[in-house]
Amino acid sequence: MQVTEQQVNEQIEQCITLARQFYNRRFIVPQLHWFHRGTNAGYAKLQSNEIYLNHVLFEQHPDYYMSDVIPHEIAHLICFTLFGRVKPHGKEWQSIMRHIYELTPTTKHHLPCEHLRRVRQIDYMCQCGVVSLSMIRHNRVRKGVQSYRCKVCGETLLQHGL
């Protein structure tokens, strides 16, 4: 099913309308933003009343976004409006998910997203051979704040090819 941005906005408004009817209270429709990196399905910025959705995952799983991700993020905003700062997936948020959106509260999506991970490895050497370090560790070495040793031979790892 091809879902348009207009349909996404309508779903956001529908989620807000359900909350208005349930609580007999006014809630402001949040601003929608898209992001294109990472494996998070979405997130809510509570103080600024905004939701951010992963456009790549949305394009691959639009039905799941409409049925689960959008209500999940809207529930965070409703929870913040009603209760202030509480546990992100605490009893208040869970109650909103169950009673307003009639969904089982879940904290993580189960969409396939390994293809979205951008974990790059940099090759280092020791007398044992090649050892790969993550970009985080590589950057620490490059900045001179950390060095790493081989777990087998104990030799300090040096960047391969330098």
Catalytic residues: 73
Q: Which residues contact 46 (CB under 8 A, 6 or more apart)?
A: 76, 77, 80, 85
Q: Burial, 75: exposed, middle or buried (Cβ in 10 Å; 0-12, 13-18, 19+)?
A: buried
76, amino acid identity: H
The 8-class DSSP code of residue 34 comes to E
